[in-house]
Amino acid sequence: MRYAYYPGCSLNSSGLEYNMSAQAIAPLLGIDLFELPEWNCCGASSAHLQDHTLALALPARNLAIGEDLGLSLAIPCAACLSRCKATEHAVRSSEETHTLIESLIDRPYTAAYPVKSLLEVFIESSMDLLQDKITKPLTGLKAAAYYGCLQARPTDYMDMDDPEYPQTIDIIIEAVGAEPVDWAHKTECCGNGHPTAYPKIGSRLVNRILKQAEISGAECIVCACPMCFFNLDMRQKALGQKRGRPFNLPVYYYTQLMGIAMGLPPQKLGIDKHSVNALDLLSQKRYIPTAGSAAEGGPA
């Protein structure tokens, strides 16, 4: 299956690991991520605070390019996804908006090809193939699936399987042989940019999620959004210091776990780049060779 891959600005920066892992596993699972040519910023987090029309027009251009290619967009970043889905919804539900947007981007856009999250793409088209490709099932790993807020809401158009109790990441966790834990904060907000701008509010939100994950017995958190990943991974150290007891919850993208289960080297998936050491847990569980033997025993 071919998709127009829209990395957005974060996948080559803060979300590099997501990009690496997704690009690494996609071809193995029969998914062709063709990068959208001449893509522009989706405007997330700032455009819709400035100008509502602009906030629709920015993603519309990308969507129109995709439509021109006859491809659905596959979007890894939850914020990009949210903006694109918002545009798609607005164009579909009002002929007036539709005309306005087309005149602004100066090309036709009919919302004919549904926008998909990368998560959705993997769930829809690769689950069967995945079963054949798994060489190292992650047996015994307890993982908390964390979806964040943007993938699930607003419920009108985000089409998550279940906005209050989503299952898609849990399904992937099960598929790679690990054990998803049941916990209450799957869709709680991680605070997005707030931990930087308003540390008091932001860190409380992150803290709450980490604490609940810990209580649930999870050994790691699995997410599907670069912003969530960033917050949960990078803030752990400071929050641990603050409470006087460190958190030790490696955070993975679901694509990374899929890669490991398929026997790909962790470096190729960017697992060596996390703030919270994410390699140790994997080697402890013997999913990857221990750090010492890595040099000689890398996969072929």
Interface positions with other proteins (CB under 8 A): 155, 162-165, 184-185, 212, 215
Q: Which residue has the tokens 């005149």?
A: 103
52 in helix, strand or coil? Answer: helix
Q: Which residue has the tokens 């856009």?
A: 109
Could you tell me the smallest distance in angstroms from the CB atom of residue 183 to other proteins?
8
Could you tell me the smallest distance in angstroms from the CB atom of residue 163 to other proteins?
7
**Among residues 51 and 162, whose Cβ is nearest to other proteins?**
162
Instruction: Centre a 10 Å sphere on the Cβ of residue 114 and count the other Cβ atoms it contains.
Output: 12
Could you tell me the smallest distance in angstroms from the CB atom of residue 241 to other proteins?
23
Could you tell me the smallest distance in angstroms from the CB atom of residue 79 to other proteins?
22
> Cα(27)–Cα(30) distance, rounded to whole angstroms?
5
**Among residues 128 and 164, whose Cβ is nearest to other proteins?**
164
> Cα(257)–Cα(4) distance, rounded to whole angstroms?
23
123 in helix, strand or coil? Answer: helix
* Angle between helix 52-69 and 78-93 (nearest 10): 90
**Among residues 186 and 274, whose Cβ is nearest to other proteins?**
186
**Among residues 129 and 184, whose Cβ is nearest to other proteins?**
184
Could you tell me the smallest distance in angstroms from the CB atom of residue 164 to other proteins?
2
Could you tell me the smallest distance in angstroms from the CB atom of residue 249 to other proteins?
17
Closest to 54 measured CA to CA, from 3, 12, 105, 18: 105
**Among residues 216 and 275, whose Cβ is nearest to other proteins?**
216
**Among residues 191 and 226, whose Cβ is nearest to other proteins?**
191
* Angle between helix 16-25 and 254-261 (nearest 10): 40
Closest to 246 measured CA to CA, from 210, 272, 215, 216: 210
**Among residues 152 and 278, whose Cβ is nearest to other proteins?**
152
246 in helix, strand or coil? Answer: coil
Could you tell me the smallest distance in angstroms from the CB atom of residue 5 to other proteins?
31
Contacts of 16 (CB under 8 A, 6+ apart): 270, 273
Could you tell me the smallest distance in angstroms from the CB atom of residue 51 to other proteins?
28
| Strands, E assignment, the chain | 2-5, 32-35, 73-75, 116-117, 142-146, 179-180, 220-223, 251-253
- In single-letter form, the type of residue at position 79 comes to A
Any bridge partners for residue 73, and if so which? 4
